[in-house]
Amino acid sequence: MKQFRKMIAVVLTVAMAASLGACGNGGAASSSAAASAANSAEGGKMINIGVAQLLTHPAMDASLKGFKDGLASQGFEEGKNVTYDIQNAQGEQSNCITIANTFANKKPDLILAIATPAAQAVAKVITDTPVMITAVTDPADAKLVASNEKPGGNVSGTSDKTPVKEQIEMLKEIVPDVQTVGIMYTSSETNSQLQAKWAKAACEELGLKYQEFTISNTNEIQQVAQSMVGKVQAVYIPTDNILASGMKNVAAVTNSAKLPLIVAEVGPVQNGGLCTVGINYEKLGYQTGLMAAKVLKGEAKPADMAIEYQTEYTISYNSAVAKQLGITLPERILKGEDVAAAK
């Protein structure tokens, strides 16, 4: 009889544990997945990482390279103990959703989502796998985390927030007689909308007028760029995925019209922009890789990992563009990196 009672007690204990486990949330599920990945890493098994990249352009490619290097620095090396399943959405939101569903079925050990639309698609579908994000301006504003300080779910990573006010100040320093600034961005990109808002506030603070010029797809870039000519004395473009991929088309118009083009990161400067003070996406990706390594090692959970930012900004300029525009750049900018000379 005593033995029978012991058996009943064991059954009840197991049932209660199972019931409590079933009450877990996405954060708990991702913790379990992270623990599984950590066990795989310790056991010498191959770690599978899914990558959802919105499209191909220098900033995103640099983010991925940095991410891989960051993980490799912590012992997670591609081809040795890590495999990457890299999926490119070619700039289409529908493809982002397809990629997210694919990863939901494949169940990789960890997912990297590059850019806001890709991150939103992945976060909406996947709640039981650790997700690292990068090239997202404000994860909380994009509804990816509960807060940037305390994400609370299975998503964390790095923000590509840039010093917008300093960029507008740079614009005014280079073009002191500027009256109206053209702010060009993609109307459907959350990150671009937010930065355009910051840029407008900076213009108002500096006593500058501004005019917004928006696009919805790559086919509109040249037409909208041409519409700025004669209306503004300088142009500002934030970190914008669609415009980054079509920056050469924008620059062809602005440089021909002698309009200084100030951008938010080094990639567009390499493709015809005049200059920037901004972030380094390869370093940002590396930072994200270090965060991912902590998750894979079981040292941290995305729910408890605050969104991280770059604290040092880099000045980059294009001397060939400055020459074409007939502009002599201030000495402090010339102390930065000349990406034209670097080519």
Q: What amino acid is encoded at 40 in this protein?
A: S
How far the first Cα of the chain sits from its last, in Å, is 84
- Specify which residues 156 forms β-bridges with: 132
With 0-12 / 13-18 / 19 or more C-beta atoms within 10 angstroms meaning exposed / middle / buried, residue 300 is middle
Q: What is the pLDDT of residue 260?
A: 98
Q: What is the pLDDT of residue 315?
A: 97
Query: For the chain, which residues make up each domain, given as ranges?
Result: 26-160+282-304, 164-278+313-342
Closest alpha carbon to 62 in 279, 292, 340, 294: 279
| Topology annotation, domain 164-278+313-342 | Rossmann fold (3.40.50)
* Distance (Å, whole) CA 222 – CA 215: 10
Whole-structure pTM value: 0.83
Q: What is the pLDDT of residue 45?
A: 87
| Topology annotation, domain 26-160+282-304 | Rossmann fold (3.40.50)
Query: Do the domains spanning 26-160+282-304 and 164-278+313-342 agree at the CATH topology level?
Result: yes
Would you give per-residue pLDDT tens digits along the chain (343 residues)?
444 344 334 333 433 333 333 333 445 555 555 555 555 555 568 999 999 999 998 899 999 999 999 999 999 999 999 999 999 999 899 999 999 999 999 999 999 999 999 999 999 999 999 999 999 999 999 999 999 999 999 999 999 999 999 999 999 999 999 999 999 999 999 999 999 999 999 999 999 999 999 999 999 999 999 999 999 999 999 999 999 999 999 999 999 999 999 999 999 999 999 999 999 999 999 999 999 999 999 999 999 999 999 989 999 999 999 999 999 999 999 999 999 977 6
